Structure 1
């Protein structure tokens, strides 16, 4: 797929205040295909995809490999890394990152033209990173800064990676597993569909304004995606799992904690999605959340579910939590940010965590 222009949509915020009760949320599913604008909704869902095998990649073998990645990500490189655009605005042309002008092989956001990065300014009246923030989380919001803290502020972080020689950013979350080293993100933040695996992959939990790394930096040792994603960029499998190397002898879950995960959850319900959007009007320096009711893909192209959300490129891979407790910042991961349709930039879609993803998780947590 070839990525197009950045997402700049911004829907109005709906101020529904939460009480201390848990928020119930539901699953979703992804299709990282660039879908041309649609005007009519379909009335059916496609047949559920079959469970595929798990494809693995060894990211680092020796301590020297991890040290090299840590050395690679200087503050300057982190600051200049570009957000991978949400693949739903793309057209399928031989892979998620294929065929871009300038020979990089990547779809970038900001856009690349003639080998040069075209900076897209914020919309009039919008300040980069400026979003509503409240001491009490909103039950429904299309994009607000998370200012409440809690576990989710530690377990969610930014991912820095290199594909085809270009540095990018995504979002990810730690997830509970027997190895205590596991994070979940979008498949397109790990592997370019049937193309290359990411390099220099590193996770920074609780990434802060000014590049703060309060809990350190964790490098990848093994990466996992489902077979259909690796073979054909199948949109229903845009999920990646990464086993991290210990940092200073400590596992990431022992340092920042981890969120629970559930598979084959009922459709519908309420979800709270988190991430680090980096395209205007956001700047990638703050944790942002969307919250609301989930709905089916109106086009019937996927089994994904949509969440009203203005988050832009850079938020790919951020977790969607159901049964979210705003007092503790804990919930259950039931999906993640994956794509947007080109004619509906106010809705984010995320994949159903079904049997294929359960198999992916069981393999990765034993790594």
Structure 2
């Protein structure tokens, strides 16, 4: 049996979330290359409570934990931390002025190389700035009386108030809706440079709300404004893409909070997604060591590292327990488009 790990969760595995291994995917039939059209789905909506603005003290935020889907939480199994791939030298190392081998011009070349983020990585601190540092943030929420954290992104919308995240960061599958839900864009080591935006209305797809179907693990939230200023008036927003072509280089962002990370800085993965080799979902897989807390973080295709802009085509959803180095995210088809239409009219 191959359990899947919802990425909200860090060291937790709900025993009820075990899947059997699926059939091997024949060559040329990679679901990432040939996405199956969405069946007709419904949208489930929820009016959020309005306690979030006063609820989230700095102390509560610091104590909030990344956790798994709440179903079956009474039976949990600890998981080992991921093994990280060697990463590039941090930017601070380039500032030491130690010349690269081969001449006195090495220091300048090293600085230039360090300033350009790698286009393929399984987990690196995002230090290049740009729009993504403002539009991506942390979500703080309460589920069944416990405080949790996720990641999310502001997106362009008609009402200028829409946040996109994972479905399990909004509703516990067939269980409870989140309470005290608030989005902190641009979060950085405890700083909230753009303030916090509490939820107004929440949206998930029917298959997620009724059965926790991973193909529909997407949540959208319309947030309150700040003294008349809408979310994307303050931080901007990434455009959403639907029915996007597969096999394009994708950057996945988030705030992983399980060891070896602490949730305080924005990290990213980058690579070319592939289909689910287990054959159990229509999701895409991306080589990624980000841990729990990164759930709901945006996947951006057509991404420009210089500007920090791209098209949001998925979100971080789950990992399989026998492959903790691959993150999976749902394909954004017609069901997600319907979610967005509801959220931007809220």
Smaller-chain TM-score bracket: 0.7 to 0.9
Would you say 1:351 and 2:324 are equivalent positions?
no
Show the counterpart of 2:72. Answer: 99
Match of residue 50, structure 1, among 39, 43, 64: 39
**Is 2:244 the counterpart of 1:271?**
no
The answer on 1:319 being equivalent to 2:292 is: no
1:91 equivalent in structure 2: none
Contact between 1:2 and 1:99, CA under 8 Å: does it hold in 2? no
For structure 2, which runs of at least 5 residues remain unmatched after alignment?
92-113
2:62 corresponds, among 69, 79, 89, to 79
The aligned residue for residue 188 of structure 2 is 208
Instruction: Report the 3-state secondary structure (helix = DSSP H, G, I; strand = E; otherwise coil) of the residue aligned with 1:83.
Output: coil
Secondary structure of 2:115's counterpart equals coil
Query: Does 2:275 align with 1:296?
Result: yes
Deviation at 1:34, TM superposition (A): 3.5
- Report if aligned partners of 1:84, 1:316 keep a CA contact under 8 Å in 2: no
Structure 1 regions of 5+ residues with no counterpart? 9-32, 86-95, 112-117
Q: Does 1:241 align with 2:220?
A: yes
Which residue does 1:219 correspond to in 2?
198
Say if 2:5 and 2:321, in contact at 8 Å, map to a contact too.
no
CA distance in structure 2 between the partners assigned to 1:125 and 1:274 by the alignment = 16
**Are 1:171 and 2:144 an aligned pair?**
no
Q: 1:299 to 1:121 in 2, by over 3 A?
A: closer
Higher relative contact order (CA 8 A, sep 6+): 1
CA spacing shift, 1:298–1:144, aligned 2, 3 Å: same
The structure 2 residue matched to 1:138, chosen from 99, 115, 118, is 118
SS at match of 1:261: coil
Call closer, same or farther: CA 1:131–1:54 in 2, change over 3 Å. farther
SS of aligned partner of 1:299: coil
Cα separation, partners in 2 of 1:178 and 1:101, compared to 1, 3 Å: same
CA distance in 2, matches of 1:131, 1:168: 32
State the TM-score, normalized to the length of structure 1: 0.78
Q: Is the 8 A contact 2:166 2:219 kept in 1?
A: yes
Give the whole-Å Cα distance in 1 for the aligned partners of 2:52 and 2:4: 27
Q: Is the 8 A contact 1:2 1:100 kept in 2?
A: no
Instruction: String of CA shifts for 1:201-254, please: whole Å, max 9, x gaps.
Output: 000001111x11010010000000011111111111000000000012210100
The runs of at least 4 aligned residues of structure 1 exceeding 6 Å deviation read 1-5, 120-126
Report SS of the residue matched to 2:59.
helix
Q: Which residue of 1 aligns with 2:17?
A: 34
User: Which is greater in Rg?
Assistant: 2
Cα gap change, 1:353/1:125 in structure 2, threshold over 3 Å: closer, same or farther? closer
Distance change >3 Å, CA 292–CA 250, structure 1 → 2:
same
CA shift digits 1:4-23 (9 cap, x unpaired): 98369xxxxxxxxxxxxxxx
**Structure 1 Cα separation of the partners of residues 177 and 45 of structure 2:** 10
Question: How many residues were matched structurally?
Answer: 309
Deviation of 1:84 after TM superposition, in Å, equals 2.6
C-alpha displacement at 1:51, in angstroms?
2.5
8 Å CA contact retained: 2:142, 2:148 = yes
Equivalent residue, structure 2, for 1:70: 53
